[in-house]
Amino acid sequence: MVSQGEIDAFVELGYCAVREAFSPEVARRCRRAVWKHIEQQGITEEDPSTWSRAPKGRLGLAEIFRDSDLGAPWSECWSPRLREAIDQVCGAGKWEPNGCGWWVVTFPEDNAEPWGVRGNWHVDGHGYRHLAQSREVGLVLLMLFSDVGPNGGGTALAPNSHRVVAEKLLRAGADGLAGPALSAATRAAVDLDNPVEARGRAGDVFLLHPFLLHARSKNLSGHVVRFLCHPVLALREPLRLFPRPADPTPVERVALDVLDHLPPPHVLPSPPPPGGDSPRLPPRDNTIAAVMGFDAFARQRSGNLRARKKRKSRRPSRPSSEKR
């Protein structure tokens, strides 16, 4: 549950925070489980001298943890308070549940001041052409599993960039734009010099509009390892933009507001994608994964997937949007 002020901020700036979405104790148990998991790579919580083994100071885990995977209480992260907040911005019953996955663990860096962005500014969602109504990434979550203080590696957010993305997508109409091209075009058009850091306590969750540009940042905390879980939520149906619905959700309101103020030349409203899915892109190479730091996990992930397949019958399938 978030306040009306938070919802207005989500529409206006492109993000809001659900403080204490789950308890610090749940966060601690989950974080500990991920530490145990990454010990396989010779990196341990107890011995900071091992942290430099993380390539470029961070680790990416493309795995998704659910239920009691690794002996941790993942389902408790999806508390009624968090689910209610997601209902408020996406609409009740309109989003597909997900697990705790797509981890980015950033280790403290020495001599790296001033604080700034380390990764690429981007919108999430690769592998398909983004349309204004695309349902594949309906909401982006930043789930904090460690306390994140000033300059402590909080994800960098570009307030208002979601409006620029909305305009680009509306103008692109039915052709849409591939995720990387959309990110690149938006980077060139927005102010990236004044990012906001997604700071908070373990258990806080940020809700990002799917069009918001964001990036990994330097962790200059000196000693705190930042544990971020960054899942996306797919919507069950494409956004309702044409015709304009009587009861737009906050996610839909952004594109509708931009449409109302779009200077000429105007785009022709494009119909929702047939069957609800956006056009797929040809299978991509690993360039994006390498940029985001997930190349090292490609091989490991196939092993994980084999193990997971055995359990698949009792689980919902992964939304295609998770292939970022």
Ligand X SMILES: O=C(O)CCC(=O)C(=O)O
Residues 98-127 that bind ligand X (CB under 6 A): 104, 119, 124
Answer yes or no: are the C-beta atoms of 220 and 111 closer than 8 Å.
Answer: no
- CA-CA distances (angstroms) from residue 183 to 26, 119, 139, 239? 34, 13, 16, 20
Pick what 31 binds: ligand X, Fe ion, none; C-beta below 5 to 8 Å, kind-dependent: none
Longest dimension (CA), the chain: 59
Distance of CA 44 to the CA centre of its chain: 26
Cα gap 285→127, rounded to integer Å: 10
User: Which partner from the list ligand X, Fe ion, none does 228 bind, CB cut-off 5 to 8 Å by kind?
Assistant: ligand X
CA 263 to chain centre: 30
CB of 221 or CB of 270, closer to ligand X: 221
Binding mask of the shown chain, residues 121 to 160, with x at each position contacting Fe ion by CB under 5 A:
---x------------------------------------
Q: What are the φ and ψ backbone dihedral angles of 286, each rounded to 5 degrees?
A: -95, 15
Q: For Fe ion, give the closer residue by CB, 206 or 259.
A: 206
Binding ligand X (rule: CB under 6 A), the pick from 31, 135, 216, 218 is: 216
Least Å from the CB of residue 27 to ligand X:
16
Give 255's contacts (C-beta < 8 A, 6+ positions apart). 132, 133, 166, 169, 170, 211, 239, 241
**From Fe ion, ligand X, none, interface partner of 155 (C-beta below 5 to 8 A by class):** ligand X
| Interface pattern 69-108 for Fe ion (x via CB under 5 A) | ----------------------------------------
209 binds ligand X (CB under 6 A): no
Nearer to ligand X by Cβ, of 163 and 324: the residue is 324
Q: How far is the CB of 288 from ligand X (least distance, A)?
A: 10
Phi, psi of 87 (to 5 degrees): -55, -40
∠ Cα 213 215 218 (to 5°): 155
Binding to ligand X by CB under 6 A, coded x per residue (else -) over 48-87, reads ----------------------------------------
Residue placing its CB nearer to Fe ion in the complex, 69 or 124:
124
Binds ligand X (CB under 6 A): choice among 186, 230, 248, 258: 230
The region of 26-34, 89-97, 120-128, 299-307 touching Fe ion under the rule CB under 5 A is 120-128
CB of 176 within 8 A of CB of 232? no
Of 69 and 124, the one with the shorter C-beta distance to ligand X is 124
Residue 246 carries which DSSP code? Answer: S
**Which C-beta is closer to Fe ion: that of 124 or that of 167?**
124
Span 162-201, contacts to ligand X by CB under 6 A: none
By CB under 6 A, what part of segment 277-296 binds ligand X?
A: 292
Backbone φ and ψ for 303, nearest 5 degrees, come out as -65, -45
Provide the strand spans (E) within 150-288: 156-157, 177-178, 196-197, 205-208, 214-215, 226-229, 232-233
Q: What angle do CA 291, 157, 93 make, to 5 degrees?
A: 95
Contacts with ligand X by CB under 6 A lie at 104, 119, 124, 155, 214, 216, 228, 230, 292, 324
Contacts with Fe ion by CB under 5 A lie at 124
